[in-house]
Amino acid sequence: MARRKKIYEGKAKTLYEGPEPGTIVQYFKDDATAFNAEKRDVIEGKGVLNNLLSEFFMQGLGQIGVPTHFLKRLNMREQLVRSCEIIPLEVIVRNYAAGSISKRLGIEEGTQLPRPIVEYCYKDDALGDPLVTEEHIAAFGWASQQDMDDILSLALRVNDFLSGVMLAVGIKLVDFKIEIGRIYDGDFQRLVVADEISPDSCRLWDLKTGQKLDKDVFRRDLGNLTDAYTEVARRLGVMPNNPPAGGKPTLVN
């Protein structure tokens, strides 16, 4: 197989030129990072599970009319997506208090919030992805007011979908983050859910026991991360035919 040009390498994925103009190949790595990459490790099989789970969620969103950049899964570690201009924001939706909001506001972890809370962080690893307000976003031109209205609507629709899917398999959706991209059709633009949706970007707790089934297992040394992600995939019916394994990218022409 011909190797394609690498466009970008992040903490969890590597992006390559796609086979057609306007497409990108996302390769899911086994790397795990936490605390702004201060803690890191390689967790065998994580990339395979995240690829399969992200495909499952993106396809589900597409079926209910939520636009995403996802086109198709190519193999166990790669998927083909539309190229888009990523808005430099992490969009966080919280249903229960956990992580940073518990520390900031002194709310006990696990407390159900009065309603879903949407927060925004400026995407900049060097700054630690700081929390920002809509005033910052407007002032610095990261997104227009119409964009923000559309982003809020997308985030809440994703929350409704993910909450329902998870509840059906006995998992509580505590919070999650998504990224939003712009796709241009001539003079018009539309916003789509981009990047990935996986246990790397969600907090998932067992509904009965409270067991963590997300990256907090790695952050807090609570056990085997692959086992936690495998349990999520098993409940959702998206387990791979073969056990997750390592491997180098083999990009499709």
- Mean pLDDT, the chain cut into blocks of 10 residues (253 residues total): 80 94 96 79 92 98 98 97 97 97 97 98 94 97 97 98 98 98 90 97 97 94 94 92 48 38
Terminal Cα distance for the chain, rounded:
7
72, 12 Cβ separation under 8 angstroms: no
Q: How far is CA 166 from the centre of its chain?
A: 15
CATH superfamily of 6-82: Phosphorylase Kinase; domain 1 (3.30.200.20)
Under CATH, what is the fold of the domain 85-224? D-amino Acid Aminotransferase; Chain A, domain 1 (3.30.470)
- CA angle 162-225-203, nearest 5°? 30
Tokens matching residue 180: 């939003």
- CA angle 236-238-239, nearest 5°? 115
Residue 40 has, within 13 A of its CA and on its CB side, a CA count of: 9
77, 27 Cβ separation under 8 angstroms: yes
Give ranges for CATH 3.30.200.20 in the chain.
6-82
Give ranges for CATH 3.30.470.20 in the chain.
85-224
